[in-house]
Amino acid sequence: MIIAANFKSNLTLQKIKNYFSVLDSFVNGNDDVYVFPPFFAMQEKAKNFHIGVQNAYCEFNGAFSGEITLESLNDFGIKNILIGHSERRNIFGENQELCARKFDFFAQNNFSIFYCIGESLETRKKGKSAIEDFLSSQFDRIDVDYEKLIVAYEPVWAIGTGVSAKIEEIEETHNFLRTLTKRPLLYGGSVQLQNISDILKIKNVDGALIGSASLDVENFKKMIEVARGKK
């Protein structure tokens, strides 16, 4: 099971230092754990879990004010990235063309790519066919056979709302996604300690991408413990 934490724009550097120290002592070699902190914490190190970047631009360096580029990531030894998160798409206007460009660039540079997809509530209400058409469109120009691809299905209406998709909804969607790629499929969207066990039991769910529930390291440790029992 892959268990990943996306801190988004939360926590201070000192809090992250403390978090990493606690987590590194807890995680063992059998766990597959990733943490995506804000960029200012990229210099922190971990022996037993992987650190990734929440966003980066698809160039080595250059005149891209405010962006993180490959040169910086190489300097920090970072080889894991989130691409296509709904907040990047919906708040910052990243369209499918840009997501695909980022994917191609970081795949060429041998990154593990957590590629995020997910539909809005409006699309969900239109039914199964609309959901599947929309999710398929988010794979446009994406190499679904890339060996370091990890797909994270995060229904937009469940992110940060405290409302997770129903077990039946997750299973149906993940079964469809399995027809599109053989790569690991994670579920994200209000994953909590109370529901992670049931989520990880679902067929074709290979792990979880966790947002706010991961900000407390003790809570995140408990979620990793749950995942250990699902292998």
For 186, phi then psi, to 5°, come to: -105, 155
DSSP state of 165: P
Tokens of 156: 């937009």
Residue 208's φ and ψ, nearest 5 degrees, are -140, 145
In this structure, what token pair is assigned to residue 5?
A: 């934490």
**Residue 149 three-state SS:** strand
Identify the active-site residue in 87, 94, 119, 154: 154
CB 105 within 8 A of CB 74: no
Which residue in the list 85, 94, 119, 171 is annotated as catalytic?
A: 85
Would you call 154 a catalytic residue per the annotation? yes
- DSSP-based three-state secondary structure for 80: strand
Complete edge-to-edge strand list for the sheet that includes strand 149-153: 50-51, 32-36, 2-6, 207-210, 185-188, 149-153, 112-117, 80-83
Cα gap 129→25, rounded to integer Å: 46
Would you call 174 a catalytic residue per the annotation? no
Q: Name the residue type at position 80.
A: N
For residue 222, give both structure tokens: 């408990």
Q: Are strands 149-153 and 185-188 parallel, antiparallel or unpaired?
A: parallel
Residues with active-site annotation: 85, 154
